Structure 1
Amino acid sequence: MKKALVTTGGGDCPGLNAVIRAIVKRAQQTTNWEVYGSMEAFNGVLRSPKEIIKLDDEKVAGIHTKGGTILQTTNKGGPFSWPVQKEDGSWITEDRSDEMIEYLHREGFDAVINIGGDGSQKISYQLFKKGLNVIGVPKTIDNDLACTDYTFGFQTAVDIATDAVDKLVTTAASHHRLMILEVMGRGAGWIALHSAIGGGAEVCLIPEIPYDIDKVLERLNTRYVGGRGFAIIVIAEGAKPIDGTVVARKSDEVGYENIRLGGVAYQLSDQLKKAGFEHDIREMVLGHLQRGGTPIAYDRVLATQFGVKAMEMAINEEFGRMVSFLDHDITSVSLERATEGQNLVNPNGFLVQTAKGVGISFGD
């Protein structure tokens, strides 16, 4: 009997459970594969006692409709940087990848399916180079992974953000206010761009197009006549002004290596007031609401396609590759290619041109 291990790493994302379910369902179509799951990414393998569970029909029944992941997840630590506390209370990290790989080989795991974003897939590639049979599945609401047109979870996040724009329009109109909605995306503006178009915002500020505050102000002023009017700005958390910097801070959480973004809406509000904007402004940071809740049908379907493909790749021993959605086809690319860059908004692309065609300003 062959064994596959499934992990979910990085931030949670609508559709993770649909992938897990699809992997198990596809494995059941064969007669010689069992599927297991490691809790909290690879932490379940690294901990003592181990936290590895068998995934069967009972475990995955109906989970495709639920957000989050039944395997739980983490963006701290991992096999290459396991946090260890010293006697003096300080923390260091250890590389436990060889130990983990040796354990998985000893326990007879024939394939590891690692579901995660860019950080998780870089771990996948490193493990593959060290001799582990790894297959990657791309996951992120940010839609910023290279070599795949879309990642599951993105469309659900866009729906949530667009719904927020819709709701802000009514309160903005009632009070003649400017509402600034900050959405996630890190260094990519996909969520902001889609929700700004879908919700009909006047201004969309994204990391790929640094903004000029005077041009933003110019667009906003067209929305007010005699002190009356309203406007909506959608701003990505990684957006920044020309010659400015991203609003971010280093995390003090043990094992968390990424910078923490957030707060750009308040910075923009201050900039507008200093630039002479005279009307009421309110800020809203949508935050983790974009990650939670039930995945929409599109993401359930895409996640299921990814899960089935990943299990078929394991059966066919196509290791060192990541599942990919390219040109409306479910295919795969090498992990090396998948981790070489990012999928960012093209400032001259058709979607930006569409937004500009309906009057949305990018402050450029």
Structure 2
Amino acid sequence: MPEKKKVLVLTGGGDCPGLNAVIRAIVKRASQTPEWEVWGSIEAYNGILRQPQELVLLDNKAVAGIHVKGGTIIKTTNKGGPFNWPVKNPDGSWSGIDRSQELVQLLKNQGFEAVISIGGDGSQRISKALHNLGVPVIGVPKTIDNDLGATDYTFGFQTAVQIATECFDKLVTTAESHHRVMIMEVMGRDAGWIALHTAIAGGAEVCLIPEIPYDIQKITERLNSRFDNGRGFAHIVISEGAKPKDGTVTARAATEAGYENVRLGGVAYQLSAQLKAAGCTADIRETVLGHIQRGGTPIAFDRVLATQFGVKAFEMVLAGEFGRMVSYRNNTITTVTLEEATARYNGVTPDSYLIQTARGIGISLGD
């Protein structure tokens, strides 16, 4: 019996509802082509770069029922990578080394004829660089922020919005009962899509996003107008990356080895203090959703989209379409080059249809 062809699957970056649905779809589609088998690398490329290696065979039994589960059965990481592998120095500090050429050789040694990398902008930049080194790689876009410019939607985004909206709905009744302003902070480092969708779906009075720096005085005036003799209530949805005019993002330096981004979070508390200093007369409470938005069962839309991505990715392997990423455009599953996939950031633009909708129903964007 001839030796089977092997494809390596990995998930990189932050976890996201729908990752398991992609993995399952790849395996289910590959099972219809008996000459192929699917392997998973634990924690992105770490699984093949570590000694001993952490590689797992993914068959139909291994992926049975996982499409309804959050997270990823092959784990993930957003620290380091083959081009910046974290190494601890004798003095206790950390530095990064380039292990990309070693990775290329390890893939050849293990007989992998294709790699499917499921991840966001950073992961696909690594995919592009590895493809330039000759690795037969295919990308699958993943991010709850929906900030990849080469695809209309990424799986996980709609689930994150659904979770945020359900949480927002729960805050409405407590705000009304206590005559309070409720500030809900959602994820969105540089893109305000989650906040904007949630604000429109939930009926917020104010929505603050990274793309539109806010004027604290205008927000205060809007909130005060919602109260009469101390009675009333109001709601604010704010992205973690939002900032005031002439201000900076609320962030702190990361301490984990290999993690390059600053850590966001806490802008809700900063906004609360700013509002009180600016003369907001109402009681204010803050809720930071954080990683709640990343976990849990993906909604049907994300399961379907993730499954479509997984099937298409394996069919790209069969067709030898390497150096490309799966994409969802105009209600069609298609492909784009990895260069195009990482060329444009998909932030909220001032003339966005969603911005027009928000303004049209009276939501203040802080400007």
TM-score norm. by structure 1 comes to 0.99
Out of 311, 321, 338, the residue aligned to residue 308 of structure 1 is 311
Deviations 1:12-69 (A, max 9, x none): 0000000000000111111211100000000001100000011001100000000000
Report the residue type matching 1:43 in the other structure. N
- Distance apart, 1:89 and its partner CA: 2.0
**In structure 2, what is the equivalent of residue 357 of structure 1?**
360
Where does residue 8 of structure 1 map in the other structure?
11
Q: What does residue 68 of structure 1 align with?
A: 71
Mapped to 1, the partners of 2:238 and 2:95 lie a distance apart of 36
Q: Does 1:46 align with 2:55?
A: no
Per-residue Cα deviation, 1:237-277 (whole angstroms, up to 9, x for no partner): 01111111111121011111111111111111111111100
Q: Is residue 340 from structure 1 mapped to residue 343 from structure 2 by the alignment?
A: yes
Q: List aligned pairs for 1:118-197, cutoff 5 A.
A: 118-197=121-200
Q: Deviations over 1:307-354 (max 9, x none)?
A: 001000011000001110011110011101111121111221111111
2:287 matched residue in structure 1: 284
**Residue 214 in structure 1 maps to residue 214 in structure 2:** no
Instruction: Verify the 8 A CA contact 2:31 2:60 in the aligned structure 1.
Output: no
Find out whether 1:231 has 2:234 as its counterpart. yes
Opposite residue 118 of structure 2, the aligned amino acid is I
- Correspondence for 2:61: 58
Aligned mates of 2:358, 2:51 — CA distance in 1: 52
The aligned amino acid for 2:321 is: E
Q: Secondary structure at the match of 1:11?
A: coil
Show the counterpart of 1:34: 37
Over aligned residues, Cα RMSD in angstroms? Answer: 0.8
| Greater shift in the superposed pair: 201-210 or 214-223 | 214-223
SS in 2 for 1:60: coil
SS of residue matched to 1:6: strand
Taking the aligned partners of 1:171 and 1:144, their CA distance within structure 2 comes to 32
Secondary structure at the aligned position of 1:59 is classed as coil
Which runs of no fewer than 5 residues in structure 2 stay unpaired?
none
Give deviations 1:113-156, integer Å, cap 9, x for gaps. Answer: 00001111111111001110010000011111120010000000
Q: How does 1:233-252 map to 2 (within 5 A)?
A: 233-252=236-255
The equivalent of 1:78 in structure 2 is 81
Q: After TM superposition, which residue ranges in structure 1, 4 or more long, deviate above 3 angstroms?
A: none
* Paired letter, 1:296: I
Which residue type is aligned with residue 322 of structure 1?
M
Identity %: 71
Structure 2: distance between partners of 1:146 and 1:261: 22
Q: C-alpha distance in 1, partners of 2:88/2:257?
A: 10
- 1:82 Cα deviation from its structure 2 partner: 0.8
Q: 2:217 & 2:94 partners in 1: Cα distance?
A: 46
Unaligned runs of 5+ in 1: none
Q: What displacement does 1:77 show?
A: 1.5
